[in-house]
Amino acid sequence: MRCYASLRRTHEFSALRRRGRRIATPALTVFRMAARQEDRRAVVGITVSKAVGNAVVRNTVRRRVSAILRQSLAQRRLRLLVVASPAAARTPYAELAEQLLGTLG
C-alpha cells in the first residue's frame, strides 16, 4: 500500500497551485502546503505534461517520482504537487531524487 493518497479533483490541484509554497528545481516544480485536518497521510499529485516526451517517457518520469516519494513520505502529513519539466526526462534517477528530497526539507 502506498504511504500517500492521490490528489483526484481539478480543484484540489488548482488550490495547491494557488496557495501552496512553490519550490523550483531544474527538473521539477513542487507546490507544498500543510495537510488538512482530515488528511490521515500525505496527499500527492504528480503532473507530467506532453512537453516532457511521449507516453513511455512521461510514465517513466511519473514512476520515478512516485518511487522517490514512496521511500520518503512514510510518516509525513502534507499536501504536495510535483510538476515535471522536460528536463526531468533527461535527469538521472539519483539527481532527480536529490532534487525532490531537497524540496521536502
Read off the pLDDT of residues 46-61 as tens digits, 9 standing for 90 and up.
999 999 999 999 999 9
For 45, the enclosing helix (H) or strand (E) is strand 42-48
Q: Say which residue, 5 or 103, is predicted with more confidence.
A: 103
Phi, psi of 11 (to 5 degrees): -65, -25
What is the rounded distance in angstroms from the CA atom of residue 3 to the CA atom of residue 5?
A: 7
Domain boundaries, the chain: 4-104
Model pTM score: 0.91
27 pLDDT band, cuts 50/70/90, is very high
Rounded mean pLDDT, 34-49: 88
If you compute the radius of gyration of the chain from its CA atoms, what whole number of angstroms results? Answer: 13
Residue type, 24: A
Q: Are 35 and 77 in contact (CB under 8 A)?
A: yes
> Which residue, 98, 95, 93, 83, is CA-closest to 31?
83
pLDDT tens digits, residue range 51-87? 999 999 999 999 999 999 988 887 788 989 999 999 9
94 has a pLDDT exceeding 60? yes
Work out whether strand 21-24 and strand 28-34 pair parallel, antiparallel, or are unpaired: antiparallel
CATH number assigned to the domain covering 4-104: 3.30.230.10
